[in-house]
Structure 1
Amino acid sequence: MHPTARDLGEGLPRRVEVLAGLSVAIDLGLGQPAEHMLRSAILACRLADRLGLTRDQRATTYYTSLVMWIGCHADSQEYARWFGDDIAVRRAAYLVDWTGLPFLRFLLGNVARGEPVAQRLLTTAALLRDARGQLGALMHSHCLSAAALAHHLGLPAEVEQAVTYTFERFDGTGLPQGCQGAAIPIEMRIAQLADTAEVHHRLHGVGAAVAMARRRRGGHFDPDVVDALLTSPAEVFADVPDSDAWKAAIAAAPDAEVRLDPAGLDLLVCAIGDFADLKCPFTLGHSRAVATLGAAAGELMGLAPREVRALRRAGHLHDIGRLGVSNQVWSTPSRLTSSEWERVRMHPYLTDRVLSRINGLEQERTYARAHHEHLDGTGYPVGMSGAALGPGERILAAAVAYRSGLEPRPYREALDAEQAARRLRDRSAAGHLDPECVDAVLAAAGQPAPRVARDDALTPREREVLGYVARGLTNRQIAEKLVLSEKTVRNHVERTYAKIGATNRVGASLYALGHGLVATGVGGATA
């Protein structure tokens, strides 16, 4: 069989298009409308030009602005622990200068947001015992996570370095390091102003954005960067041609014409799936497993190679819309309210919105947006029925359902392979899933797991502990699972981190994912 033009890379998306799609997913988790980060990148490039930055610095500024908040989504669980609705607090934080009494009032007004009064009081008391220390730890974790994810996405080392300064302030009162002035990379100093100014400009106009920049000049923001804005605010905030921020941002990219080849696209969508799965500790590795299982089932059913490849990519991308739903909802151990359930039902639609502007991923988008649709029309978000669902959509839905069963959820433990298979066949019998696709998925899941080479010298116990760490369990919870003392678990964690070169949970999670260790800590459940 001769390779098609798509197999050779023709018609595949440009690299910046995929990363721009990722930035739209970041917008979801920030509680901002789509293309906020794209508009911020445009503003940042305009400021970089006014400041006379070099071509390389401008390139770093562009991608720093595009992904500067990527680390927050890996820390959504921690945000939700302190603030309840992690998305709502991030949205509100744009309107507050993070210093002094106004910031303290903001914290007190948002601690354990949406939780019962008793829980709010307990969480507030815990935070006030050491507010700066608690927030510093959270932001330190964010910075490490952002750098790890930027590296995982293949972004330049300069961007990887810059995003570690997201919470620093020009006056040295920021977190986690308290860096001051020129110690903060100029690319991040520009990105900070562009990010905040875009929100104020969109909500209240040029005057409000200028007033905000003046108030924070010399505090949050670099005076030179603010002055570059103040000299020509109308030009900096000028609308892009045809009000098409996507098109303008793509054109402003330093590598706007670099088109991905098939292997490069595969690597990038895999990294994006890993990023989406970090939203919740219990979904770590989900998208990789769905991609592998769905593609294997597609081959068993005789799909064409290009359809199998699209199915694999869709498996990596299908859950990117989860970023638009608060962890307060995802982590609920009890029955969801109708309002919460409606938010859950939106996440495939949000996946569709993220992928909608990326040229060359049309088939992947079609598969991904239907991963919770049912043959009998009872699925979501649209309620499509069997006639509208092709083989790829049906296979992906079955792969998602089976893999989800093998994973723990806040309301249940992970199922074993036999239980997950029974659950899948029950859904098929109920008319939700295609019986043939269910058979193919189960046949694919029965393949023996590949052996993973170990070059880290981890002991079996350390691998087991790392699996639990990657799933978000605390040292105390791991100790209870393994019937060990908390001190012993802490020692295992410290030795494991030292051996693999990790500094926080996200780094350990990415290592565990890349080395086939994720299933170790979940009761032996495997695909």
Structure 2
Amino acid sequence: MHPHGTLPGSGKGLSRAELLAAISLAIDLGLGQPMEHMLRSSLIATRIAERMGLDLQQRATVYYANLVGWIGCHADSHELSALFGDDIAFRADTYTVDTTGLPFLRLMMRHVGRGSPGWERGIRATAFLVTARSQVATLIQSHCSSAGVLSDRMGLDEQVGKALAYVFERWDGRGLPNGSRGDDIPVEVHIAHVADVIEVHLRTGGLEHAKHVLRSRRGSQFSPAVAAVFDRDAAAIADGLLEIDVWTQALAQAPDRDRTLTAEESDELLEAMADFADLKCPFTLGHSRGVANLAAGAARHLGMSPSDITLLYRAGLVHALGKMGVSNRIWEKKGPLTTAEWERVRMYPDLTGRVLSRVNGLESVVPIAMKHRERIDGSGFPRGIAGAELTAQDRLLATAEAYQRLLEPRPDRPPLDPGGAADQLRKEARAGRFDAESAAAVLAVAGPRASRRTPWPAGLTDREVEILRLVAQGRSNREIAAELFIAEKTARNHVERVYAKLGVNNRTQATLAAIDRGLAGFPVKAAVGS
């Protein structure tokens, strides 16, 4: 189904460690931290683990539990944004306080309803106070389970997935979701907790400030044993961290730094990265895979070379990674964007480039991925590139991405049906924004959607598939009920049955299950045959 192949000039396959390091850069964006935060904290964690005498297996778990520890957080950006306004600003602020008790409650109250009118903020803050712990617990439960699912999809050791279940637990047992405490939490996670927070305070306030933060949370948020090791050897552990080439040094510590992926494994990991990017917004379910399939299918239709087909497939998979750096408050805004908000949106293709630019073997993919929002008439972004500066591959990916987006709902409009999307694409091609040949090729492989004759997977009914798609779009039971003209209780029963049939327990897992089973409404899964 997928054009597994090698790219020109790429020599051997992609490095698994480098792709996972790139994912960590995208995670940094969603945390509101500078890129390389997670890589630098992985180095801190590795240095602590060595001094604690952990074995090689444990050190490998420390490295990756730290590097991708927050991989689930962006999957809850929709819910976090509904509560706190700017999801990225909220995450960034959580590093400034011990995440329990009054300081944390005050931080949450400062963010509740941010961006809403004053009267609405007051009402929402009062309501939140009543339900704060249960709402945050629900979010964290969802985060931990989705982090485990995502780490599994990235091909990480099952020990890493198990460790990620404890990311929000604390030494003193006041964490979530289970209130695990002390040595019931794996030592690898205790080390990751310290390394993640210490990196921020070391970078922003210096070594003495970092030591002060650690001492103030020792025995509460942090394990006394891990804190003692850092306190004793702080200068050596922190040595050179702010001056070195972090990417190179952190990859030198990666347990599988020499692991090269086959073409098929490379595509599988890039597909997992695509799903990771698309979980940022509930209305982009399956977006990147859809773009990749359209672009590769259209390239084949036009008789492009196998390497170009692979190139476009991979560019389609990774083009949206930079979206992590833009708040869901902007992505999900129903009205027009302000100038400042538009500037954030216009940045995201550049952020995709920054995330992927150091991965060996993606050199030919990255420039195409970065230009998917450019237009032939110069009206696109981020650079307003026009005409002959856009290659045939650039034009094809831009066209495929635009068509796929038209098929998906957005906060300000419902999805278009394939006919309506095709009309809109042709209109924009006639206006000179898209290449006519690319538009014709994309529409040729998209084609009308075939009527279903085979049963839905997992024993799902037509109604349950409809419900699943609405859940994946972030709709609440009340919103689903209103859309389908059914009682809220009926909607809840439907959702519970869908979850039971798929073996999932939250929106993120339901979304991934929908993608895996081809229920995301891709237009061209069958058109990209080998």
Q: TM class, shorter-chain normalised?
A: over 0.9
Distance 1:243 1:458, change over 3 A: same
SS at match of 1:232: helix
Q: CA deviation at 1:131?
A: 1.4
SS at match of 1:194: helix
Task: Measure, in 1, the Cα distance between the counterparts of 2:101 and 2:414.
Answer: 44
Q: CA deviation at 1:372?
A: 0.3
SS at match of 2:336: coil
| Greater Cα shift, 446-455 or 219-228 | 446-455
Distance 1:272 1:80, change over 3 A: same
Distance 1:494 1:20, change over 3 A: same
Partner in structure 2 of residue 467 of structure 1: 469
For residues 360-380 of structure 1, what are the alpha-carbon distances to aligned partners after superposition, in whole Å with 9 as ceiling and x for unaligned?
A: 001110110000001122211
Partner in structure 2 of residue 315 of structure 1: 316
Task: Measure, in 2, the Cα distance between the counterparts of 1:455 and 1:177.
Answer: 33
Counterpart mapping for 1:214-363 below 5 A? 214-240=215-241, 243-363=244-364
SS at match of 2:376: coil
For residues 12-69 of structure 1, what are the alpha-carbon distances to aligned partners after superposition, in whole Å with 9 as ceiling and x for unaligned?
A: 3210000000000000000101100000111100011011111000000000000001
Counterpart mapping for 1:330-479 below 5 A? 330-446=331-447, 454-479=456-481
Task: Measure, in 1, the Cα distance between the counterparts of 2:226 and 2:279.
Answer: 34
SS at match of 2:365: helix
Distance 1:333 1:5, change over 3 A: closer
Partner in structure 1 of residue 182 of structure 2: 181
Gaps of 5+ in 1: none
| Greater Cα shift, 458-467 or 227-236 | 458-467
For residues 463-482 of structure 1, what are the alpha-carbon distances to aligned partners after superposition, in whole Å with 9 as ceiling and x for unaligned?
A: 22112111211112212222
- Return the match for 1:496 from 492, 495, 498: 498
Distance 1:415 1:450, change over 3 A: closer
Task: Measure, in 1, the Cα distance between the counterparts of 2:7 and 2:439.
Answer: 29
Do structure 1's residue 505 and structure 2's residue 503 form an aligned pair? no
Partner in structure 2 of residue 162 of structure 1: 163
SS at match of 1:70: coil
Asked whether the equivalents of residues 23 and 273 of structure 2 are also in contact (C-alpha less than 8 Å), the reply is: yes
- Return the match for 1:487 from 471, 486, 489: 489
- Residue 297 of structure 1 aligns with an amino acid whose one-letter code is A
Distance 1:84 1:4, change over 3 A: closer
Asked whether the equivalents of residues 504 and 510 of structure 2 are also in contact (C-alpha less than 8 Å), the reply is: yes
Partner in structure 2 of residue 65 of structure 1: 66
* Percent of residue pairs bearing the same amino acid type: 49
| Greater Cα shift, 321-330 or 153-162 | 153-162
Counterpart mapping for 1:170-209 below 5 A? 170-209=171-210
How many residue pairs get matched? 521
Partner in structure 1 of residue 103 of structure 2: 102
TM-score by length of structure 2 reads 0.95
Gaps of 5+ in 2: none
Partner in structure 2 of residue 25 of structure 1: 26
Distance 1:243 1:407, change over 3 A: same
- Residue 442 of structure 1 aligns with an amino acid whose one-letter code is L
Do structure 1's residue 147 and structure 2's residue 148 form an aligned pair? yes
Asked whether the equivalents of residues 12 and 361 of structure 1 are also in contact (C-alpha less than 8 Å), the reply is: no
Q: Which has the higher contact order (CA 8 A, sep 6+)?
A: 2
Distance 1:142 1:166, change over 3 A: same
- Residue 467 of structure 2 aligns with an amino acid whose one-letter code is V
SS at match of 2:97: coil
- Residue 239 of structure 1 aligns with an amino acid whose one-letter code is G
Q: CA deviation at 1:10?
A: 3.3
- Residue 437 of structure 2 aligns with an amino acid whose one-letter code is E
Distance 1:292 1:100, change over 3 A: same
Task: Measure, in 2, the Cα distance between the counterparts of 1:482 and 1:92.
Answer: 39
- Residue 65 of structure 2 aligns with an amino acid whose one-letter code is T
Superposition CA RMSD, Å: 2.0
Partner in structure 1 of residue 14 of structure 2: 13
- Residue 160 of structure 1 aligns with an amino acid whose one-letter code is G
- Residue 343 of structure 1 aligns with an amino acid whose one-letter code is R
Q: CA deviation at 1:92?
A: 1.1
Q: CA deviation at 1:94?
A: 0.5
TM-score by length of structure 1 reads 0.95
Task: Measure, in 2, the Cα distance between the counterparts of 1:153 and 1:397.
Answer: 27
Task: Measure, in 1, the Cα distance between the counterparts of 2:334 and 2:8.
Answer: 44
Asked whether the equivalents of residues 112 and 123 of structure 1 are also in contact (C-alpha less than 8 Å), the reply is: yes
Partner in structure 2 of residue 44 of structure 1: 45
Task: Measure, in 1, the Cα distance between the counterparts of 2:447 and 2:521.
Answer: 16
Partner in structure 1 of residue 83 of structure 2: 82
Q: CA deviation at 1:8?
A: 12
